Structures are given as structure tokens and as C-alpha cells.
A and B are shown apart, each in its own frame.
Chain A
Amino acid sequence: MKILSYAIAAGLAVASLTTTATAADITGAGATFPFPIYAKWAEAYNKETGNRMNYQSIGSSGGIRQIRAKTVDFGATDAPLKGEDLQKDGFVQFPAVMGGVVAVYNVQGAGQLKLTGEVLADIFNGKISKWNDPKIAQANQGVTLPNASITPVYRSDGSGTTSVFTTYLSQVSEGWKSGPGAGSSVQWPVGQGGKGNEGVAALVKQVPNSIGYVEYAYAKQNSIPFAQLQNKNGKFVSPEAKTFQAAAANADWKSAPGYGISLTNQPGDEAWPITAPTFILVPKTPEKPEQVAEALKFFDWSFKNGDKMAVELDYVPLPSKLKDQVRATWASEIKNASGQAVFTQ
């Protein structure tokens, strides 16, 4: 792994030599889930300022490894680091954008399905194995569901999407919590694995009576039917910008170090239960403060100008109150060797 990071570092060094000295170049690496929006922001940012942001979507744990090895200016991760890890590594963590995970299905003649969290967990646990199970029928009155076996489809590659989905299942189902649990890859008791969102979507489309989970943006752009879910307040909601924002609105962001809260199963009548922020990691006392300052400048610019782009790509921008909190964190926590904030407005 070390050899790989040296190779990447060497590559970056060459890349930075070949670009002009006037434009600031920053590099980040990590989570694949926010890659489309980071790339979009980077493109617009480059057009406006001439500065470049190069993001390598190598996966969250890769991003954490890279920022630990200091080969990138910022790391990106879907699952937040815990307070003690942030302390140990000397990182500041903040959310950049949010997204949702939805349950997609392929059931002939089912129309719009409604599922509760517990039913969803039981399906992926193998406890509910037929579509006409009374527990499913209870929430879907008037819908005729077939007497057919359910094929759950999951992400076979370790992913933040799986982490968010299984975190939610652990919150709503004791059986899931004590069974497979939450994580970026878990031991699935039943079903089939597809690689990436596209693998899961392909299997769901091909296998009759299957159900899977993908990122909202992916399901929407490929028009795969998704289920309504029951949220903590007992209301059935559809995944859409409004319900994602509702989930973020009620959250207590300061309750965890580095804003590392989970937005799954949030209270609120309109809150979509499987919403998740994705995070950025930067060093608290950077060796190259000017690079980190450039990175923060990029995110500050994106916070100001990037909301529309995020919505277009079916991501959810952060609430403006939260953005201000994040900016305050930058000013108070990220400092150069002489104790001055590396980035100020």
C-alpha cells in the first residue's frame, strides 16, 4: 500500500510540476458516492477562478489512508470518523453534501410499495421471504402482491451506501443489530450481490421479485421504481429533495465530534429515514497551510455557489445554518504553526 501511495505521490508531484505556478492545484481522495458533485463543483470552480481541484474517487477508507499519509490535501469519507480517531490523527471533519439511499424493487403489478423499516430489515434478513407476507400486506392495502420468493440484492463491494443502509436497518430492527449489524460490507444472510450501484440496479431489473438499495441519484436517473418508507414519526414518505432536507433540518449536528452524526431515522413528519451526509477530512495543523487554505476556499465557494448543481445531480445541499457552523469550525480549529487560522473569509 505504501508503495502505491508513493507512486501516487510521485504522479502528483509530476502533475504539479507541469502546471503553471499561478493557478493553485488541490488534490483530494476518498468516497465514491460524492464524486459526481465534487467533479461538477471542481469544473465550475475552475472556470470561475482558474484553480483546479483534482478528486480521486478511490473509496472512503482509501481517502482516510491517503490523508493520513499526507499525500492529498483533503480526504473524503462517507462514514464519519469517531471523535477519538479525529483527535489521534489531528483531523478536522466537516460535512460537504448529503444524499439519500432508496429501496428499489421489481415486483410485477405492485405499483407504489410502502415498507416499514422493520419489514425492510426482515426482508434483507431472510425472515420475510414472500411478497404476500402479511407484514408487507399490512402497509400496502389494496395492492395484490404475488406469492413469490423475494430476492434481496445488495452491494458486494464495500461501500458507504451499504454502511448507511445497514446503519438504518440496525436502528430500526433489533434482529438486524444483533445479526449482520452495520458496516461498509456485512455478512448478508440471503440474496445476491452486485458490484456498484450499476450492478445492484442491473440485478434488480433482471430478477423478478427482487429488492435492492441504491443511491437516490442513481435510482432516479435510471427511473427504477423505489419504495416509500415509514419514518420515525410513523409517516410514509417518498425520497425527494424535500424529505432529505427535512431529515437534515431536525438533526443536532453538534452532538457528535466532527459533525459525525448519522442522519438515518431522524424525527420529523417529512424526514426521509435513510439520509446521510458525506464528510471531508483536513489536518488540524497542516504542514502545507496554503494548500489546505485552498481546499477550504474551494468548499467555501461550493457552499456559496454549488447548491443548484447539487440539486441537479440529486444531492442535497447542507442547510445554510450548518454551513455557517462549518465555517466557524474552520476559523477556530484549522491553524498554521504560528496559531493563525489558515483560511478566513
Chain B
Amino acid sequence: MVALSQERLVSSADAPARRSTPPSFDRLFRLSSLGSALLVLIVLLGIIGAMIYGGLPAFREFGFGFITSSVWNVNEDQYGAWVAIVGTLSTALIALVIGVPLSLGIAIFLTQLCPPWLKRPVATTIELLAAVPSIIYGMWGLFVFAPLFANYVQIPVSNIVEGMPIVGTILYARTPSGVGILTAGIILAIMIIPFIASIARDILDQIPSVLRESAYGIGCTTWEVVRNVLLPQAGVSIIGAVMLGLGRALGETMAVTFVVGNANRLSGSLFDPGSTIASRIANEFNEAIGLQLNALMALGCILFLVTFTVLVLARLLVARVKVG
């Protein structure tokens, strides 16, 4: 990075001597790129404004209760976001618990252990996963993964844990349909792995190899190098990568709508159906009128707030590392 920007400085210092375009073009160019940048900002502000404006009637009607109430009754125009908020957070959390260790494993394997001939195929496959449209994950999740998950996980696990304290609730499927909060979390994990893995790989690649070589030089095992040298070096940046993955998991809509079960109920079991903010909006927006539309907009505001917070935290963490 440093080397690159120094090079730029040198060439821009040389620039006046070689200038062949008139200065007015320069100004036009500057203005048009400023315009492009501002456009993004205006669109963002417009979206926020439209969502707040659309959601305001719902916030005004229900106040703080909109967040804490778990009623969602279209016929009586009573809306509360709690079930959807819990569903969003729990599916995203499951995705992280499953996805982060796998992503780190992929990144460490690719940068430290992988034989050179295997590096490119594995890396390409991971990147291809990121390019699969989310509707495909949803269809695959519902038609292929869910039946397998029901037969080989939900039913056997439920039979084992039935009647046990705590796990008997968390891992008991009253109706082993294969869809539910856990299934949504697993699908989300598969979806965020490529993001976290490829960023983590870049981060690990950037660590000067002299560090790694010195550690091996004093007789460290691969595990010790990874655990005591690489991960501490990359730590905060990796948290940034995880946050980006979390951002995606929170907002994912189509895939989750297919596999989350779409029930407006809170349940102690991970196998039970639930709903997320994004899936609720995807389900109901088409046919929503009046206060229901406002409530969906308000849900959108809440999701925006949560995702925005996560992304800002990620930026801050990554920025801190760059400064350090």
C-alpha cells in the first residue's frame, strides 16, 4: 500500500510537465466524479428518508412496543417486531458459529498448508460460491437440504434428546419438517463462508512472511505459528471480515424466506419455524396495505439500523488496524 501511494505521488508531481488536456477538462472530470460520489450518498439518504417516512405511522401507533411486542396480526392491525428481530439475530448468530470456524479453516489452509497446485482450484470454488444467487440457495435448501436434514438430523436427534432437560427443548423437533431457524442458519453459513474466507485469506497473505519464517525458525509447529503468530497479527482484521459476513447474514432475504418456516412464534427449539425481518418483508410486502405497509417499513428501519451498526463497527475495526 505504502509503496503504491508513493509511486502515485511521484507521478502526479511529474504531471504538469506532461499535461496534454486543457484544464477545463480536468475540472469537468473532477465535478463528474464528485457527482458520482454524491449520487450514492443521495440515494442512501433517500432510502433512509423514505423508510423512516414510511415507518413513522407504525412507530407512532405502537411506540416502543413495536420492538418488544410479538403480536403480528394483520386483521386487527396489531404489529410487533420482536419475533422477527429474535429470528434475525438468532439465524445470523448460528451462521457465524458455523461459518466463521470453517472460513478461518479455509483461509489458513489456503495460505499456509495448501500445496501450490491445489491453491487455485480451491480458491476459485470458494469465489464461485459467492456468485450463486440467493434464490438458488433457497430452492436447494427447501427441496434438497431440508428433507435430508429432517431425516438424518432432526428425527434422530429429537428421538435421543426427547425428555431431557434443556437440550430436550432446544434440539427437539415437534414437527421434523427440515425447515426452521437452524436450517436457515446453516444455509446462511454456507452463504457467508466465501466472503469471510476470501477476506481472511487476503489478510493472512498480507502478513510479512519474515514473521512466519522466524517462528518456524525457532522450531514452532504449524499450529503454534497459526495460533501465536498469524491469528494475533490478523485478529482485528478478521473480526472486520466476520462483521461483513454478519451484515450479509442479517439482511439475506430470499434464501431465508424459503427455509425459515415463516411462523410468527417464539420457540425454545432451534428446529422450530420462525421468521426474520427480511423474510417477513419479502412475504408480506406484495399484498400489504395501510398500517401493515407502515409496519413493514418500520421493520425495514430496524433492520437497516442493525446492519448499519454492524458495518460501521467493521469499518472502525479494519481502519484501526490500518492505522496501527
Contact present for B261 and A193 (CB under 8 Å): yes
Contacting residues, chain B, for A185 (C-beta < 8 A): 74, 283-284, 287
Contact present for A206 and B262 (CB under 8 Å): no
Contact present for A58 and B142 (CB under 8 Å): no
Interchain nearest-CB distance for A6 vs B (Å): 13
Query: Is A149 close to B, CB under 8 A?
Result: yes
User: Residue A199 contacts which of B73, B176, B258, B284 (CB distance < 8 angstroms)?
Assistant: B258
Contact string against A for B residues 25-54, beta-carbon threshold 8 Å, 1 for contact and 0 otherwise: 000000000000000000000000010001
Contacting residues, chain B, for A195 (C-beta < 8 A): 257-258, 262, 282-283
Contact present for A210 and B283 (CB under 8 Å): no
Query: Is B186 close to A, CB under 8 A?
Result: no
A184 to B71, CA, bound (A): 17
User: Residue B287 contacts which of A157, A203, A206, A207 (CB distance < 8 angstroms)?
Assistant: A157
Interchain nearest-CB distance for B91 vs A (Å): 15
| Main DSSP-derived SS at the A contact region | loop
Considering only residues 186-207 of chain A, those with a C-beta below 8 Å from chain B are 186-188, 191-195, 199, 202-203, 206-207
**Segment among B106-114, B124-132, B143-151, B307-315 that sits at the interface with chain A:** B143-151
Query: Is A180 close to B, CB under 8 A?
Result: yes
Contacting residues, chain A, for B90 (C-beta < 8 A): none
Query: Is B72 close to A, CB under 8 A?
Result: yes
User: Residue A207 contacts which of B175, B262, B289, B293 (CB distance < 8 angstroms)?
Assistant: B175
Contacting residues, chain A, for B175 (C-beta < 8 A): 149, 151, 192, 207, 210
Contact string against B for A residues 100-143, beta-carbon threshold 8 Å, 1 for contact and 0 otherwise: 00000000000000000000000000000000000000000000
Contact present for B177 and A157 (CB under 8 Å): no
Query: Is B178 close to A, CB under 8 A?
Result: yes
Size band of the interface chain B makes with A: 35 or more
Contacting residues, chain A, for B177 (C-beta < 8 A): 151, 192, 203, 206-207, 210
Contacting residues, chain A, for B320 (C-beta < 8 A): none
Q: How many residues of A contact B (CB 8 A)?
A: 36
A197 to B142, CA, bound (A): 13
Query: Is B273 close to A, CB under 8 A?
Result: yes
Contacting residues, chain B, for A62 (C-beta < 8 A): 286-287
Interchain nearest-CB distance for B136 vs A (Å): 14
Contact present for B289 and A203 (CB under 8 Å): no
A304 to B36, CA, bound (A): 55
Contact present for A61 and B286 (CB under 8 Å): yes
Contact present for B264 and A206 (CB under 8 Å): no
Contacting residues, chain A, for B284 (C-beta < 8 A): 157-158, 185
Q: Residue on B with the closest CB to A184?
A: B287
Contact present for B150 and A58 (CB under 8 Å): no
Contacting residues, chain A, for B147 (C-beta < 8 A): 206
Contacting residues, chain B, for A187 (C-beta < 8 A): 71-75, 264
Query: Is B174 close to A, CB under 8 A?
Result: yes
Contact present for B287 and A194 (CB under 8 Å): no
Query: Is A245 close to B, CB under 8 A?
Result: no
Query: Please, could you name 30 A-B residue pairs with CB atoms under 8 Å apart, sorted by A?
Result: A1-B293, A32-B286, A60-B287, A61-B286, A61-B289, A149-B175, A156-B275, A156-B279, A157-B286, A157-B287, A158-B283, A158-B286, A158-B288, A159-B287, A181-B76, A183-B75, A186-B73, A187-B264, A193-B262, A193-B263, A193-B275, A193-B283, A195-B258, A195-B283, A199-B142, A203-B179, A206-B177, A206-B178, A207-B175, A210-B177
Of all A-B residue pairs in the complex, the 9 with the closest CB atoms, nearest first, are A158-B287, A193-B262, A156-B262, A59-B286, A207-B177, A151-B175, A181-B75, A157-B283, A187-B73
Interface residues of A (CB under 8 A from B): 1, 3, 32, 58-62, 64-65, 149, 151, 156-159, 180-188, 191-195, 199, 202-203, 206-207, 210
In the complex, besides A62-B287, A64-B289, A185-B74, 11 extra interface pairs with C-beta distance below 8 angstroms are A61-B287, A65-B289, A156-B257, A157-B287, A184-B287, A187-B72, A187-B74, A193-B273, A207-B175, A210-B175, A210-B177
